[in-house]
Amino acid sequence: MSLGDIAHISDGFEESDLRSRYNGKPSERILVYRVGEQTPTDISKAVHEKMEVLKSQLPSSVQTQIVKDSSIILEDRINLLMKNLWLGLGLVFLTLSLFLRVDLSFWIMIGIPISFAGAMISMPITDSSINMISLFAFILVLGIVVDDAIVVGENIYAHQEMGKSPLDAAVDGATEIAPPVLITILTTIAAFIPIYFIPGITGNIFQNIPNVLIAVLLFSLLEVMFILPGHLSHINRVMAWILAPLGKILETPRHYFSSTLFWFSNKPYRTILEKGIAYRYTIFALGVFFILLCAGLVAGGHMKFTFFPKIDRDDIAVTARMPFGTPASVSREIYFFSKNRSR
């Protein structure tokens, strides 16, 4: 006895109760993923090109539509990073130019893209790539990486104000500030090392954050300790000629801001600092009080914690779960009923 004796056999597609509709019309959905070394942007471009070809081949009654292009999210994150980078560079340069020399501000600003470039070069070594997580790490470290350059550059500038030669001021300023800068970098790195111990797939995803952040901070340390003092140890005539017009424009406001900062540091700040030193035990007690206050807010449940906060989404998903064994016709009726009610 063969199978054909007890059943009807046909060579065709498997019967399925799954139905897909788009804008109320029957549809078929095709998912396109990248493989190998392909990038989301390349895949998106290839799909759009193929869609244009299909539109000319399909009849007018059949339409094609790209419903969800994930590469747009990646491009938006890249644009956000570049926007923050350019805005950060401009604000750092302008703010420092109002208190320090223009050429000094320029070389401090250049330390940010140098650190980012070094981190990108080292990404293949750590098996990292440009993705949503690594781009988030770049945005996160953008506000941290410039601090060390500001501290070193300002200390070198202070030594130059003492009348030292550019070379001696660069060496003495960088050497004097090196220990606290090194400790700052190491403590920041130590704060992100526990991410490496997250197990499973989640750990493999989130390890891009410390990979990028540690690389950027290490290259920033090399830049502020060796490259930046080298730039400030002599006067670059080309850069001085380029930045001279801007220096003349900012000369008056720089004098005003510098004198105001000098007055603030020697009058109000110095007075408060002397009082704080004189009543150091009171200041210590206030610190302990605020620590206990924060601990009490957390322990009492007044400070909420949400790992993934709820945010607005670009689309709304509604799921209707029917009892097991419900016919497909009933499911379709529920679908059309809910669709009509939503209108």
Q: For 71-266, which CATH superfamily applies? A: Multidrug efflux transporter AcrB transmembrane domain (1.20.1640.10)
Weakest mean pLDDT among 109-123, 219-233, 253-267, 306-320: 306-320
Q: What is the DSSP letter of 4?
A: G
The C-alpha torsion from 180 through 185 and 188 to 191, rounded to 10°, is: -100
Give the pTM: 0.73
Q: Look at residue 16 in the predicted model and tell me its pLDDT.
A: 67
pLDDT for residue 294 is more than 80: yes
* Helix 71-97 × helix 102-122 angle, to 10°: 150
309-343 as b/e: b if 16+ CB within 10 A: eeeeeeeeeeeeeeeeeeeeeeeeeeeeeeeeeee
Give the model confidence (pLDDT) of 220-274 as tens digits.
999 888 888 888 887 666 566 666 777 777 778 888 888 888 899 888 999 999 9
Residue 279 dihedral angles phi and psi, to the nearest 5°:
-110, 55
Whether 209 contacts 187, CB under 8 Å: no
Q: Where are the domains of the chain?
A: 71-266
List pLDDT tens digits, range 34-73.
Answer: 877 778 888 888 888 888 888 888 888 888 888 888 888 8
Give the C-alpha separation, 236 to 228, whole Å: 13
- DSSP bridge partners of 22: 25
> CA nearest 24: which of 342, 341, 339?
339
